[in-house]
Amino acid sequence: MPGKIFLDTNILLYAYSSEDPLKREVCEIWLARKNLYVSVAVLNEFCNILRRKYHRRGSEIEASLNELMQYVDVLDVGARDIRDAIYIGERNGLGHFDALHLACASRHRCDIFVTEDKALQGFSQGGLSVLNPFAA
């Protein structure tokens, strides 16, 4: 059984949207687990996408955020994470924000990084490995 589980933004978005009911159900199951973590950067991305893509009002976004924070612990993102992300991105051909999420999860000694992002599949650093909850 894994220790600390870091959830990527796409997992949170599936849990809070009705785009794909099956994926929503899978993500809600993940949110019911213990030892869940997200970063401040993930929460910012979550709020931005709810507003920009799903056209949610501020009060709806705040309600979703308040509910979500009952299930997860929020990790800080520091200057070290930003520097580490530069090299993680360069070594693995990743965009900066994906690399930043991985750097933060790694620094906080998370065991599993849960994401659907295909570009992150196969990433491993220290004790951190990536898991796609929808992979067969």
Q: How far apart are CA 78 and CA 63, in angstroms?
A: 27
On the CB side of 121, how many CA atoms lie within 13 Å of its CA? 8
Q: How far apart are CA 72 and CA 37, in angstroms?
A: 5
Task: Please report the pLDDT score of residue 136 as a whole number.
Answer: 62
Task: Please report the pLDDT score of residue 135 as a whole number.
Answer: 86
Q: How far apart are CA 99 and CA 91, in angstroms?
A: 10
Task: Please report the pLDDT score of residue 17 as a whole number.
Answer: 85
The structural architecture, per CATH, of the domain 5-131 is 3-Layer(aba) Sandwich (3.40)
Task: Please report the pLDDT score of residue 122 as a whole number.
Answer: 86
Mean pLDDT, consecutive 10-residue stretches, the chain (136 aa), reads 88 89 90 94 96 95 95 96 96 95 96 94 89 87
3-state secondary structure 4-29: CEEECHHHHHHHCCCCCHHHHHHHHH
Task: Please report the pLDDT score of residue 2 as a whole number.
Answer: 64
Place of tokens 């950067």: 41
